[in-house]
Chains A and B, each alone.
Chain A
Amino acid sequence: EAGVAQSPRYKIIEKRQSVAFWCNPISGHATLYWYQQILGQGPKLLIQFQNNGVVDDSQLPKDRFSAERLKGVDSTLKIQPAKLEDSAVYLCASSLDPGHSSGYTFGSGTRLTVV
């Protein structure tokens, strides 16, 4: 089975620029998550989708971050404008459903550096 695909793998931008990340989850996985992982810390959940609807975006900084999952498959996460503190790895994960015993499958992430 193919894993969770993310692109790009790396991105360097200047502060105040915009950036977008793309995620293609495992086929058939209804639940999709975006996490932010700052160096030296565990991943932090930003947003959870169930099919194409948002279940939880309580930790998403909505003044600059946005995410969508059109058609309930692929998802994009956007930052506009970026700040220095947004430098992190952005991880996408998917699961069959929120409580499925097989857990989440994570992609390899996009490493963002804001300079």
Chain B
Amino acid sequence: DAKTTQPNSMESNEEEPVHLPCNHSTISGTDYIHWYRQLPSQGPEYVIHGLTSNVNNRMASLAIAEDRKSSTLILHRATLRDAAVYYCILRDGVAGGTSYGKLTFGQGTILTVHP
């Protein structure tokens, strides 16, 4: 499985933007970049995903480097409810393969948001 590297932890202040980095230097052309987050005592929650172009949704933005070897999840205005573990995951997009669609979680980044 392709691997990702994330900082163990990051801190932010409420209502400030947060940029969560992820390195994935061994990404293949068919891997999608997915982000999930896990709030305390809950299961992981889908945040956003992309392949090559930057993506925006109501929760966050995803900026993908031109060579696709890194990406950044952007929370535009952090709130206390955004405190969670954020996982950057490469998801195989080749239908029929043994690893098709699988989510393999790493350690993630623990985001602390200060009031």
A93 to B105, CA, bound (A): 13
A42 and B106 contacting across the interface, CB-CB below 8 Å: yes
- Note all chain A residues with C-beta closer than 8 A to B93: 99
Query: What's the Cα separation between A102 and B57 when bound, in Å?
Result: 12
Main secondary structure of the interface of B (DSSP, over half): loop
Of A43, A44, A100, the residue contacting B44 (CB under 8 A) is: A43
In the bound complex, CA of A56 to CA of B92 (Å): 15
In the complex formed, the residue of A with least CB distance to B34 is: A103
A binding-site residues for B, Cβ under 8 Å: 4, 31, 35, 41-45, 48, 56, 91, 93, 95, 97-109
Q: Given contacts A99-B91, A105-B46, A108-B43, could you give 12 more A-B pairs where the C-beta distance is less than 8 Å? A: A4-B43, A31-B101, A35-B105, A43-B44, A56-B98, A93-B43, A97-B101, A99-B101, A102-B46, A103-B46, A103-B49, A104-B46
